[in-house]
Each structure stands twice: as C-alpha cells, then as structure tokens.
Amino acid sequence: MKTLDIGKTGLQVSRIALGCMQLGKTWNAEPLTEDTIKNAVNVIRTALDEGINFFDHADIYARGKSEEVFSNIWKEIPNLRNKIILQSKCGIRFPNDPEEGFPGRYDFSYEHITKSVEGILRRLKTDYLDILLLHRPDPLVEPEEVAKAFDDLQTSGKVRYFGLSNHTAPQIEYLKKFVTQSIIVNQLELSILHSDLIEEGVTFNQKHPSRRISNVGTIEYCRMNNITIQSWAPLAKGKLFAENLSDEKLKAARDMVASMADKYNVSNEAIMIAWILRHPAKIQPIIGTTKAERVKACCQADNIELSREDWYKLYIAGRGEPLP
C-alpha cells in the first residue's frame, strides 16, 4: 500500500488506517468473548495483509474493550509492535463517571489526560503510544494543563507524538501557543455525504447557501501547518449500504457510487475511500469495520485514482445539489 508522512514527522504510514472502535463489540461491562477475540484478530491480520500499519483507537471505544481485544495480536504475531503505529484518543467521559449523576462531558485536565493514557497502555499491553489525540474540544480547557500533560507523557516515553480530533483551525492555533510539541494530526468527519470540511470554502460568500457552514479554513490551516487530516466515518456511517433507501438524494448518491465502482472495477467502499484519497491534502481515511471482507473492499482504493471530473460527480451527488 502507498504511504504518507504523518505531520512531517518521518513516520511513514499506510495511507489507509484501520479504526478499531467496534472491535470490542459491546459498549457495556460484559467481558470479551472468544468469538469477539477471534474476529478482532482476523480483522487485524487482514488489515496487515493489505498493507495497513496504522491502527486508531480511543479509550472510550467499547468502554475500553476495543483496546483490550486488540492486544491479543501480540500473541499471534510476535515482534509486531515496532512495525505498526498505534494511535489512541482521550478526553470524552461517560455519564456517571466516576460518580452517579455526573454528566457526559469532555475533560482535558492534566489528571484525566495522564490517567487515561495509563489505562490505554495497560489495555493495549504496550509501553508507549505513537500518537495521542485529544478527542473533542473541551470548552473548559486550561491549555497550561494540556501542555504539562504532553510534556510529562513525552518525557516519560509514554507518548511519542500528539494531535487533536474534531478541532477547528483557531482552536488548534490557540493550543499551539502553550504546548511545545508539534500538533501532527487533526481527525475530522469527512465522507461523500459529510463534506462540510470541503464545503467551507465552496459555500463561502454565498447569500443563500442550503446549509450555512462557518468558514474557518480548517483544511487550509492544516495543510499550511503540516497537520495530517484523518477522516473518520469515511463510509458515511454505512448510510449508502442500507437495503431500503427512501431518501431520493441518498439514492442518487448511492447510484453514483455504484456507477463509479463499475467504471473502475472496484467495490463501492473503494470508491468512497478513493474520493477522500484523491484530495491533494493527503487525507488519511480511518476505516472502521469488524468485517475482514470490508477491509479488503476498502483497500482496493489504493489501486485507483479518480479523475477530477469523477471526483466532482461524487461530490455533487453527495451534497445533493449542484455547485453554486
């Protein structure tokens, strides 16, 4: 698989990554089953066979079980750790954590960040993370606490690099005034059906856009500052794979994807991933699946490059209306 350089760090990674959110299956206190472990190992092996060396986690995924189940791969493939890149995220807290009545919230406090990393490393059964992301912007962030957490985690060797998820350009710029480490990643939702990141520039200065999007130039900011954009939900949360679509716009988008799949002789999944890969920002799609066959289907995207015209056909179909 073709590679890209994450944030100009020298980390050469597969340009498609495996998102591990659902590997742990259930989002409750039920223990992992043998079937869940077996399936997770199979999916990870398939990703490795396809050339994927980048694996994305978060401390909340399946309430920690996705990281826990991933660690079974070390027994299956000895000496694998230094050959892959592990990324995880922290900062989201569930309701009633740690006390009954506490709300679901975001927490970028020093204590929560450092404690979360300890839990991540324990569940993944590794001594270090290659990349740690702060998951969603915390309105109560004290940037000095983030800076202290980053310093301590890097000095101790527990985290090599740092990034963010779901942050705007101004939020990143503000945090950069306090942290000494480079911000190398910003993970954002992007798909044919959710193209707000791109729409920012297209709908700017339109008097009556169908959906008003704040133009903060996040994609341009990341490109100028060597911050790799990662795309979460690149398959649009499976909306185009539903059997009975009633929405006419979704049907039109699905039909366009299917038409392109026929043209390029690849899967529908590959077309949706190729649409993201075609963007010159070198965006890294994070494919999240528990099915080995879907991993293979997505990785077909590495072998094609959409024409400019085909990219626009898909973009227009996904936005559901002509360009302004």
On the question of pLDDT at 215 being above 70, the answer is: no
| pLDDT tens, position by position, 52-67 | 999 999 999 999 999 9
Helix orientation angle between 268-277 and 248-264, rounded to the nearest 10 degrees: 90
Query: In the prediction, which pLDDT does 121 show?
Result: 98
Could you tell me the two tokens for 145?
Answer: 């606490």
Specify the 3-state DSSP secondary structure of 304.
coil
Note the Cα 247 to chain centre separation in Å.
27
CA atoms within 13 A on the CB side of 140: 8
Residue carrying the six token digits 């994450």:
6
State the CATH number of the domain containing residue 158: 3.20.20.100
Hunting for tokens 């056909």 — which residue is that? 313
Compute the chain's Rg from CA coordinates. 20
In Å, how far are 60, 97, 282, 290 from 27, measured between CA atoms?
Answer: 9, 15, 32, 15
What are the beta bridge partners of residue 134? 90, 164
Is the distance from CB of 73 to CB of 42 less than 8 angstroms? no
Tell me if 17 is assigned to some domain: yes
Query: pTM, whole model, 2 decimals?
Result: 0.96
Residue 147 placed within a domain:
yes
Say whether pLDDT at 214 is over 80. no
Query: Which residues have CB under 8 Å from 110's CB, separation 6+?
Result: 145, 146, 148, 149
pLDDT at residue 306 is higher than 80:
yes
Q: Which domain holds residue 98?
A: 3-239+279-304
Instruction: Write out pLDDT tens, residues 272-295.
Output: 999 999 999 999 999 999 999 999
Query: With 90 as the cut, is the pLDDT of residue 204 above it?
Result: no
Whether 270 is in a domain gets the answer no
- Domains in the chain, number: 1
Kind and range of the H or E element at 186?
Answer: strand 183-189
CA-to-CA distance for 6 and 14, rounded, in angstroms?
10
- Cβ–Cβ under 8 Å, residues 48 and 292: no
Whether 322 is in a domain gets the answer no
In a domain, 167, yes or no: yes
**Residue 132 counted as domain residue:** yes
Q: Is 61 a catalytic residue?
A: yes
Specify the higher pLDDT residue, 243 or 219: 219
Does residue 234 sit within a domain? yes
**What tens digit of pLDDT does each residue of 125-149 get?**
999 999 999 999 999 999 999 999 9
Predicted pLDDT of residue 74: 98
pLDDT (average), residues 252-274: 98
CA angle 105, 162, 238 (to 5 degrees): 60
Rounded Cα–Cα distance for residues 300 and 156 (Å):
39
- The secondary structure of the chain in percent helix, strand, coil, rounded to multiples of 5, reads 45, 15, 40
Flag whether 36 is in a domain.
yes
